[in-house]
Homo-oligomer: A and B are copies of this chain.
Amino acid sequence: MSNINDANLKKLRQILKERAIDYFILPNNDEFFSEYLPESEKKIEFLTGFSGSNAAIIIGQKQCWFFTDGRYVLQAKKQLNLKEYKIYNLAEESLFSWLENNLKKNKKLAFYVKNHDIGFVNKISAIINQNKALLLAFEEDFFDKIWLKRPKKPDSKIYFHDLQYSGKDSIKKRQEITANLSEDAILFTSSASIAWLLNIRASDIKYTPLLLAYGILYKNNDFELFCDQKRMDVASRKKLTKVNFNDPKYLPSRIADLKSQISNLQIDLNSTNYWIYKLLIENNLNLTAKSDPCLITKAVKNKTEIAGMIKAHYLDGLAVTKFLFWLKNSSMIDEIKAEEKLLEFRKANQEFLYPSFASISSFGSNGAIIHYKATKKTNKKISGNSLYLIDSGGQYFYGTTDITRTVAIGSPTLAMKNDFTRVLKGHINLARAKFPIGTTGNQLDPLARFNLWQDLKDYDHGTGHGVGSFLSVHEGPVSISKRAQNQSLLPGMILSNEPGYYKEGEYGIRIENLVLVQEKKSQLPGNKKFLHFKTLTLAPIDYQLIDFKMLTYPEKKWLYDYHQEIYDKLSGNLEASEKKWLGNIIDLYAKVGR
């Protein structure tokens, strides 16, 4: 909170007043529902000073109501002006339930059309009807008026994602998608789908090499990209066969023209904002709502992408392993210093581009905060007896990485070892699992939790998320989690395997590797096909935290095999001291698991 924020709020309220708006809904979204917002779309931070990722505000003339989840409530209380903002934990009150209970008859509720999807608008409309209030959809972005030094919309250079990395020509990808298309065209609203489909990348947002744009794929495989063509150099643009650039400002007029060219259009309602949806409806287009066809094809990596991911994990594993050695042999360091050091190790490699998300470098009780980000205020010295947790990842042209290691600092307690070993057993259970084709991540999830559950413990996050190939570190459509899902795991998918345990006020534990779904060559004739995971991540797991008595022989063997593989692959590029240290680790695992 600052005077500037208060002034910003005052300006916004003036605009609402002029338009006779009683309440304005402000979510933390851009028009592409990006995981990381471009600077120009950080409206909530501009308005309130709040820097967390999950938030939505109802802005009234005399009071504002701020909704966020448990991990950000404390932060919100520190960053917001509590005279203006009443803060709610989403677990207790949602924006929807608040409106249901508080929105009075004839009150005018407004929202900005580009920041919500149709699902949200439908839900709000139902409440509006019930409460006999009024809903106003604004095409005007109020922040254009009040945010004087608003950063310009991202327009980073677009570059070609070479065939040596993508493994499949864009035209081939388009052909495969249009081959089964019953509509005349598909409107793509997901930036990750467009990047994947056209084999292009950019830097419009942090951590993820995306360009933020809409596009239309026609049945003849022509692609119309709504993006300034100057953002791509001529040489690269030439490689983009059958792609027509069109200025984004012409999107509405193109949609108006579409009706005369095509008779029906496929869209994915989950990634389409209300502005686009309204445009399509107002222009009487016949819409077929279907899941974005790139979601699954993008999730199933091809041979080149898989080889690239393996290479990226070799490079990344080298950096993390060196970091772990450094960590074990350093003193007088803190969370921020450690995070910087890991980045330094990654940057030592020319192929590393930038982190794939904000690292979580946390010691002791900070480790129990699942989405912790070390700041100068929270920064802990890494010393004494507790656990250090580091969750980080890198973007390489070859692929995207995401790894978490938990490391003993000083002497771990028996409770720490018990918890760590249960998390590890879950991790290994999943890493070793074989399962028939048709199995979902929802079914596999308990394999990672079983040993914690036996101790009446659990963790409040998913066990695994999909990971993109030099794309988003969190990629749909599948996950290994408590969420029910229809899509089963398919060979070529890459997911994280990251069970954890968090003891509030004491420590956090998470062990995360990325794994590739592979088909098991079954030797049993007539039997159905089985899948299994191949672990891609290469970095040692801290044996100091393991209670080996709790492990079965197959679990110990997995640990030995895994560390032997790390040694075989990495030791050639390690310093003598690092190599010796890793060798000692292997010897230790060999003793119990060979």
Given the complex, which residues of B lie within 8 Å of A193, measured CB to CB?
A: none
Q: Which stretch (A36-44, A317-325, A521-529) binds chain B?
A: A521-529
Known contacts A484-B484, A486-B484, A552-B552; is A524 also within 8 Å of B446 by CB?
no
Please measure, in the bound complex, the distance between the C-alpha atom of A221 and the C-alpha atom of B244, giving whole angstroms: 69
A504 to chain B, nearest CB (A): 8
Chain A interface residue count, Cβ-Cβ cutoff 8 angstroms: 33
Please measure, in the bound complex, the distance between the C-alpha atom of A438 and the C-alpha atom of B482, giving whole angstroms: 9
In the complex, which of the residues A442, A443, A447, A552 has the most CB atoms of chain B within 10 Å of its own CB atom?
Answer: A443
Decide yes or no whether A159 CB sits under 8 A from chain B: no
Instruction: Find residues 418-452 in chain A having any chain B CB closer than 8 Å to their own CB.
Output: 429, 432-436, 438-440, 442-447, 449-450
Known contacts A447-B447, A484-B484, A484-B486; is A454 also within 8 Å of B434 by CB?
yes
Given the complex, which residues of B lie within 8 Å of A438, measured CB to CB?
A: 482
| Contact, CB under 8 Å: A446 / B435 | yes
Known contacts A443-B442, A443-B446, A450-B447; is A524 also within 8 Å of B456 by CB?
yes
A368 to chain B, nearest CB (A): 13
Decide yes or no whether A453 CB sits under 8 A from chain B: yes
| Contact, CB under 8 Å: A522 / B446 | no
Decide yes or no whether A458 CB sits under 8 A from chain B: yes
A389 to chain B, nearest CB (A): 21
Which residue in chain B gives the minimum CB-CB distance to A454? B434
Q: Tell which of B434, B450, B484 touches A453, judged by Cβ atoms closer than 8 Å.
A: B434
Given the complex, which residues of B lie within 8 Å of A527, measured CB to CB?
A: 456-457
A285 to chain B, nearest CB (A): 26
Please measure, in the bound complex, the distance between the C-alpha atom of A435 and the C-alpha atom of B450, giving whole angstroms: 8
Which residue in chain B gives the minimum CB-CB distance to A446? B443
A509 to chain B, nearest CB (A): 16
Please measure, in the bound complex, the distance between the C-alpha atom of A442 and the C-alpha atom of B527, giving whole angstroms: 22
Please measure, in the bound complex, the distance between the C-alpha atom of A447 and the C-alpha atom of B442, giving whole angstroms: 12
Can you show 29 pairs from A to B with CB atoms below 8 A apart? A429-B450, A432-B454, A433-B450, A433-B453, A433-B454, A434-B453, A434-B454, A435-B446, A435-B453, A436-B453, A436-B458, A439-B482, A442-B442, A442-B443, A442-B484, A443-B443, A443-B445, A443-B446, A446-B446, A446-B447, A447-B447, A456-B520, A456-B523, A456-B527, A456-B530, A457-B527, A484-B484, A484-B486, A552-B552
